[in-house]
Amino acid sequence: SGVFEGITTGTPISLMVKNTDQRPKDYSNIVDVYRPGHADFTFDEKYGLRDYRGGGRSSARETIGRVAAGAIAKKILKEFGITLLGYTRSVGPVVVDMADFDASQINENLFRMPDAEKAIEAGHYVDDIIKEGNSIGGTIECVVTGVPTGLGETVFDKLDANLAKAVMSIGAIKAVEIGAGVTVADKKGFDNNDFSRYEDGKLIKETNHAGGIIGGMSDGSPIIVRATVKPTASIHIVQPSVTKQKENHEIMIEGRHDPVIVPRAVTILEAMTALVLVDALMMNMTAKMDYLRKIYSN
């Protein structure tokens, strides 16, 4: 639906992705037990029932629709010269030094790290985590280049606010930063301000602490979005919990579970960022009368 001979027709695009590798039996021991770190308890409290065979709407499976829609959004952005690059910045204590950033390495390792040596180090670290039956979190980033100045609004539809909400809606994301993010807390104004100059008639920013967004609007610099991913909640360690019958209980989660979901979240971060930017582009078309004149004069 919505696509004919590889080209969109203008009607809504309908997509269906079938899950052919589900294992509902893996969840048989949590029918009445609330898993630590999961939304089991809150689902039951809010709705009075839950589908225990996974995380339901809180499962990462839900994001397949976002990623599919994000692929379409990226094609639209590409028409405007806007590109996105997502990658893993850290896995546990293993952090990529941006001085060693190599974009060509991102798709060459399982961790989607832009540093081959750090990816190897992360692999050894995660091996130890697996032996513990534990899990680990990390951080991911998305850098958007080619963004024109003026996307976003000044109050309720700030570009950074919309990005933060979209990224926080991804399961397992616990914090979102734009640009320098939380590191600005101990900076002085002179050190944090981004200074500009004109070079051959073009405005150049010497730094980009703001992450490409000022006053809720894009300033033409690369937009930098960073997200913190929590450790996978399902681990192969006995944990104290409670049951639906309000009894104390110990549980060890069975089945297949990723020791680290950080690299998987990179694609979702890209998708949500792309969707927000396409929305901003469409909204920006009404921001100036000359845009409307161009549309209706054709």
Question: Mind listing the pLDDT tens digit for each residue in 172-223?
Answer: 999 999 999 999 999 999 999 999 999 998 889 999 999 999 999 999 999 9
Long-range contacts of 205-211 (CB under 8 A, 24+ apart): 208/179, 209/179, 209/180, 209/184, 210/178, 210/179, 210/180, 211/160, 211/177, 211/178, 211/179, 211/180, 211/181
pLDDT score for 22: 73
Are 115 and 103 a contacting pair, CB within 8 Å? Answer: no
Which residues have a Cβ under 8 Å from the Cβ of 244 and sit 6 or more positions away? 32, 33, 34, 44
pLDDT score for 291: 60
Say how many CA atoms lie within 13 Å of 172 toward its Cβ: 28
Q: Which domain holds residue 36?
A: 25-297
Question: Tell me, what CATH number does 161's domain have?
Answer: 3.60.150.10
Q: Does residue 17 fall inside a structural domain?
A: no
At 91, give phi and psi (nearest 5°).
-130, 110
Q: Does residue 74 fall inside a structural domain?
A: yes
* Number of folded domains that form the chain: 1
Q: Does residue 8 fall inside a structural domain?
A: no
Q: Does residue 9 fall inside a structural domain?
A: no
Q: Does residue 145 fall inside a structural domain?
A: yes
Q: Does residue 268 fall inside a structural domain?
A: yes
Q: Does residue 10 fall inside a structural domain?
A: no
Query: Could you tell me the pTM of the whole model?
Result: 0.91
Query: Side chain identity at 256, as an amino acid letter?
Result: R
State which residues of the chain have pLDDT below 50: none
pLDDT score for 48: 86
Maximum pairwise Cα distance, the chain: 72
Q: Does residue 76 fall inside a structural domain?
A: yes
